[in-house]
A and B are shown apart, each in its own frame.
Chain A
């Protein structure tokens, strides 16, 4: 099989992994080729609008497991290929020096055994680092079930490491991934978490000690293949960010790639739901929200019509409107239409002079949403009687300014959701 065919097969099977980040590491130095960029660099965007920053490939798509959702399952009758460590290192280097990519994302199906698979992957990355003296970004998948010593090596060669949870509960794992359990996934993840935090502590006192996965670890959850609620998912993410110190949780709308009676028959991947989950995830990480504030047992599902911050604000109207000239940063962040950047700008700009509603617009606040939730110098630009329902109708009119308000507004909403899909960048 020629290299082009192999690349096609192994890129095709790797593309369902949503992680694309090349951020969080500032590797580099004298001699050798390449460096990592702390904020990451996107190099291109494919026809689905997702960014390419790494050469994302599997080492092999052979697999001893038979996970129902996975394109590489043992019983799936697709052509199989394997790249040698030399081919992986060589291809990465050729692409890198042309500035096609920031580095390598190496994952794999499980060939022979988890240990053997991990050894081959490590050999590829070792070659890249030692023979090619490559200082660019490397993201390595850790193979569940591999020996601890091999997992530890991955952290020494790679910038970022990850183990995919894929299915949010043990029950779903048992149903769709008979070879895996919660323990086989969470075991290596917590091992990595320990090593990462230990290396961070050590490097604080001894700068020259080796970095262990300096860009941290991430994971992925498949959305819509199993019946978990948004609340279960977001609670899980919150725990992963807290207990496992994860850098990122990626959400991947389920694309039915294999036929299996245990899987739902979806007409299209639940992209809008995926988008709302990313928004909720952002609220956890950058906006100081707790999962319980966004969803509770009575309301376990994210609203598809409104972003989760707007829903929260409408349920907490007693806290609004906020006076932007007085409110704290944390409070301002909670107003719909104001993001991290515009909240910081508000704080900076109000130091020299009090702000008016017009000023807010100039600072980049999305006034069509924020107008119902803020005052500036006592002035309020929203409705006279701001009930939640009235604001909802106004907000929906903005989404549907020309036509009549169709009650579900689905077409418009889907469009909005897709145009803004946060595919996992940053």
Chain B
């Protein structure tokens, strides 16, 4: 079996996908250095070929639909081991069946990719609520997040629409990556650790919020299980109101 390796970026993945489709054999696609790369495989470095990537996208949108393209993009962002090969199997089905493939919801290949895509979309929606900004001394709003999936780019348009008059940073500390929005311009940049100097008023507002949060619960209805379902423990360390 052939395993096509790519460097981790989406264009690299599309290049590998396109090569795998061309090879016609049973293939796998995997990130370089990924643990799941099998021992008995023939490894091929796909590299990143913008032209090939663009052709692959075009092919998917032509044979599938805008919906299929979105599922692929989201499933890729899941960063779940095996997602790449799952997408490859799904694309083969798209090429065979056309847009009708997306109706085959009980087919394991479709279910897998749709499921990953839903996970990513779901987490991105959750984080529209879970991002917590701190105001820094220079009035920049800073937020640290550690999501399971690589959702930063999906969050940015949301915050751009509502906090367009501020400067802000959303820092994915799990992937050492940040979206920086300054004076109406957006850039992504690698960011390992951020040195934070809080605004003088910050602690006071935080205290008010934590106080509000505590008060808003009705003692007679306390239900930690339901609370855990909605705010899983893994997300709580970056949520102001759960700070000890």
B-binding residues in A (CB < 8 A): 3-4, 7-8, 11-12, 15-16, 28, 31-35, 37, 39, 41-53, 55-56, 91, 94-95, 97-100, 102, 135-136, 253, 255, 268-269, 271, 345, 348-349, 351-353, 355, 358-359, 362-363, 418-419, 421, 423
Whether B128 and A37, one on each chain, are in contact in the complex, defined by CB atoms closer than 8 angstroms, is yes
Looking at chain B's contact residues, is the secondary structure mostly helix, strand, loop, or mixed?
helix
Partner of B161, one of A28, A50, A99: A28
Contacts of B216 in A (CB 8 A): 11, 15, 46, 50, 52, 56
Q: Which of B199-235 contact A (CB under 8 A)?
A: 205, 207-209, 211-227, 229-231
Residue A95 contacts which of B205, B218, B231 (CB distance < 8 angstroms)? B205
Q: Cα distance A355–B104 when bound, in Å?
A: 10
Give complex CA distance A99, B130 in Å: 8
Would you list 27 pairs from A and B whose C-beta atoms are within 8 A, ordered by A residue?
A4-B208, A4-B211, A7-B208, A7-B212, A7-B215, A11-B215, A15-B217, A33-B162, A33-B164, A37-B128, A39-B125, A44-B231, A45-B226, A47-B224, A48-B217, A48-B218, A49-B227, A50-B216, A50-B217, A95-B208, A99-B132, A99-B133, A100-B241, A255-B218, A349-B103, A355-B106, A362-B111
CB-defined contacts of B213 to chain A, threshold 8 Å: 44, 46, 52
CB nearest neighbor in B for A350: B103
Closest to B207 in A: A4
In the complex, number of A-B residue pairs with CB atoms less than 8 Å apart: 162
Q: Are B141 and A421 in contact (CB under 8 A)?
A: no
Which A residues lie within 8 Å of B163 (CB)? 33-34, 97
| Residue of B with least CB distance to A9 | B215
Determine the distance from Cα of A351 to Cα of B101 in the docked complex, in whole angstroms. 11
Q: B231: which A residues are within 8 A, CB to CB?
A: 44-45
A219–chain B nearest beta-carbon distance, Å: 19
Contact partners of A34 in chain B: CB under 8 A = 162-163
A41 pairs with B212, CB closer than 8 A: no
Residues of chain B within 8 A of A94, CB atoms compared: 205, 208
A91 with B208, Cβ < 8 A, contacts A97-B166, A355-B106, A363-B106 known: yes
- In the complex, the answer to whether B105 meets A44 with C-beta atoms within 8 Å is no
The answer to whether A15 touches B218 (Cβ under 8 A) is yes
Q: Take A35-B162, A98-B135, A269-B220 as given contacts and tell me if A49 and B208 are in contact as well, using a CB distance cutoff of 8 Å.
A: no
Interface centre among B131, B143, B227 (most CB of A within 10 A): B227
Q: Which residues of B contact A348 (CB under 8 A)?
A: 103, 105
4 smallest CB-CB distances across A and B, nearest first, come from: A49-B226, A359-B106, A46-B217, A48-B221
Chain B residues with CB under 8 A of A3: 208
B100 in the interface (beta carbon within 8 A): yes
What per-residue 1/0 map shows which CB atoms of B160-182 lie under 8 Å from chain A? 01111110000000000000000
